[in-house]
Amino acid sequence: MFIDEARIRVRAGDGGDGCMAFRREKFVPRGGPSGGDGGGGGSVIMEASERHNTLVHFRFNPEYKAERGRHGEGSNKTGRDGADIVLKVPVGTILYDDDTGERLHDFQAPDERLVIARGGRGGRGNARFATSTHQAPRECEPGRPGEERRFRLELRLLADVGLVGYPNVGKSTLISRISAARPKIADYPFTTLEPNLGVVSIGEADAPDHKSFVVADVPGLISGAHEGAGLGTQFLKHIQRTRLLAHLVDVSDAGGRPDPVEDFEVIMNELASFEPGEDSGPPLDARPMIVVASKADSANPEKLSALKKFARRRKLPFFAISAVTGEGIEELKYAMARGLAGAAG
């Protein structure tokens, strides 16, 4: 199950109350006030973790509360602080205030931490109020309440290359061929219902020219995806962080789509119409792109030629591949690495 959005409510612990007490012991005249301070309430902390890849644990358990501080005691004993709680989120999670919609933080690195609700301060005991003219104070403070807030969490995949295209054009087969990812593969549209990530390696692991990058297999897009058709908005947001797009177009007759150029333009229109969030980089249709003619082993020569000429006119790199036979796969992997190097420069 892939859960990429959740809403949670958190409450930090209240501070402990301060104590009112007086020291009364034998042989200790004028003991005076001895009420200790209350302990501070526990805070709620959010931490990015590489061990998590969905927000499913928040979907089914949306409320979290930290421990309150212990009350102060006599003999100037300060109450124990409440324990913090740490909420683990996948790297790539964006935190929003659910009431205002304000974007608060983007967790982009492992072990990154943020206090999202601060615990209340412990109240002062009556020993804190003693002065030279007020030697027997009976004042003490209650603990301050901890913060209570509501948040919306949104997970956007962190990938270098995004595979886009119509449903059933071979994206899942390609990512299974170039990486260790094993998505569901079947001969019908919308086989992929959730994004898949795969790590692509080029060259020997200990070689100086070794390179690796992350590829995201995004579920198929259709006309109207930017308005939510086919869950398009949920899929499109996962390629907002990518630096390079590989646009797969089926050039065989098996898919029943007569014009590969029209298919390409429909998907480009959806990418252009989608509005990325803030700090999401350039528009999707303006990012570096590789045109990939898929299913080349059973290609219609006219479709393949038309798409190749179109890519040449658009000055886009073009590769014909077959994920089944392996034709063009290695060339495409190196082209992706070169495209990423150019995007970084």
Residues 145 and 283 grouped into a single domain: no
The pLDDT, as a whole number, for residue 77 is 94
**Interacting residues of 2 by C-beta distance below 8 A, sequence separation 6+:** 54, 193, 194, 195
Query: Given a cut of 60, is residue 265 above it in pLDDT?
Result: yes
Residues 212 and 334 grouped into a single domain: yes
Residues 183 and 114 grouped into a single domain: no
Digit-coded pLDDT (tens) for 4-42: 789 999 999 999 999 999 987 777 777 789 999 999 999
Residues 50 and 149 grouped into a single domain: yes
Look at 196 and 294; give whichever has higher pLDDT.
Answer: 294
Query: Given a cut of 60, is residue 49 above it in pLDDT?
Result: yes
DSSP calls for 52-117:
----HHHHS--EEEPPPPPPPBTTTBPPPPPPPEEEEEETTEEEEETTT--EEEE--STT-EEEEE
Residues 113 and 15 grouped into a single domain: yes
CB 169 within 8 A of CB 264: no
**E-strand spans in 218-329?**
244-250, 289-294, 318-320
Q: Specify the DSSP class assigned to residue 340.
A: H
Query: Given a cut of 70, is residue 252 above it in pLDDT?
Result: yes
Q: How many angstroms separate the CA atoms of 342 and 150, rounded? A: 41
Residues 175-187, mean pLDDT to the nearest whole number: 68
Query: Given a cut of 80, is residue 317 above it in pLDDT?
Result: yes
Domain of residue 142: give its range.
1-155
Query: Given a cut of 50, is residue 1 above it in pLDDT?
Result: no
Count the helices and strands in the chain (H runs, E runs).
6, 14
The pLDDT, as a whole number, for residue 196 is 77
Residue 134's alpha-carbon distances to 9, 19, 21, 38, 343, in angstroms, are 44, 17, 15, 22, 71
Q: How confident is the model at residue 225 (pLDDT cuts 50, 70, 90)?
A: very low
Look at 235 and 306; give whichever has higher pLDDT.
Answer: 306
Residues 202 and 238 grouped into a single domain: yes
Q: Which two tokens stand for residue 100?
A: 């205002």
Q: How many angstroms separate the CA atoms of 150 and 182, rounded? A: 36
Residues 179 and 53 grouped into a single domain: no
Q: How many angstroms separate the CA atoms of 166 and 109, rounded? A: 32
- Check which CATH number belongs to the domain holding 54 and give it: 2.70.210.12
The pLDDT, as a whole number, for residue 2 is 52
Q: Which two tokens stand for residue 146?
A: 């901890």
Residues 208-220, mean pLDDT to the nearest whole number: 78
Residues 90 and 175 grouped into a single domain: no
Residues 192 and 231 grouped into a single domain: yes
Q: How confident is the model at residue 50 (pLDDT cuts 50, 70, 90)?
A: confident
The pLDDT, as a whole number, for residue 33 is 92
Q: How many angstroms separate the CA atoms of 149 and 130, rounded? A: 37
State the chain's mean pLDDT as an integer.
Answer: 84
CB atoms within 10 A of CB 6: 21
Q: How confident is the model at residue 232 (pLDDT cuts 50, 70, 90)?
A: very low
Domain boundary among 91, 121, 155: 155
Q: How many angstroms separate the CA atoms of 193 and 55, rounded? A: 16
Digit-coded pLDDT (tens) for 119-146: 999 999 999 999 988 988 999 999 999 9
Residues 204-223, mean pLDDT to the nearest whole number: 72
Q: How confident is the model at residue 156 (pLDDT cuts 50, 70, 90)?
A: confident
pTM score, whole prediction: 0.71
CB 80 within 8 A of CB 17: no
Domain boundary among 155, 183, 209: 155
The torsion angles phi and psi of 325, rounded to 5 degrees, stand at: -90, -15
Residues 146 and 178 grouped into a single domain: no
Q: How many angstroms separate the CA atoms of 222 and 270, rounded? A: 8
Residues 257 and 224 grouped into a single domain: yes
- Check which CATH number belongs to the domain holding 192 and give it: 3.40.50.300
CB atoms within 10 A of CB 245: 25
Query: Given a cut of 90, is residue 117 above it in pLDDT?
Result: yes
The pLDDT, as a whole number, for residue 69 is 97
Q: How many domains does the chain have?
A: 2
Q: How many angstroms separate the CA atoms of 107 and 45, rounded? A: 13
CB 53 within 8 A of CB 90: yes
The pLDDT, as a whole number, for residue 345 is 53
Domain boundary among 125, 155, 185: 155
The pLDDT, as a whole number, for residue 220 is 62
The 3-state DSSP class for residue 161 equals: strand
Residues 175 and 313 grouped into a single domain: yes
Residues 73-102, mean pLDDT to the nearest whole number: 93
Q: CA end-to-end span of the chain, whole Å?
A: 37
CA 150 vs. chain centroid, Å, equals: 18
Q: How confident is the model at residue 226 (pLDDT cuts 50, 70, 90)?
A: very low
From 87-91, 233-237, 324-328, the region with the lowest mean pLDDT: 233-237
The pLDDT, as a whole number, for residue 243 is 87
Query: In 3D, which of 107, 124, 36 has the Cα closest to residue 75?
Result: 36
The torsion angles phi and psi of 77, rounded to 5 degrees, stand at: -90, 120
The torsion angles phi and psi of 123, rounded to 5 degrees, stand at: -75, 155
The pLDDT, as a whole number, for residue 306 is 93
Query: Given a cut of 80, is residue 208 above it in pLDDT?
Result: no
Angle at 24 between CA 143 and CA 73, to 5 degrees: 20
Query: Given a cut of 90, is residue 153 above it in pLDDT?
Result: yes
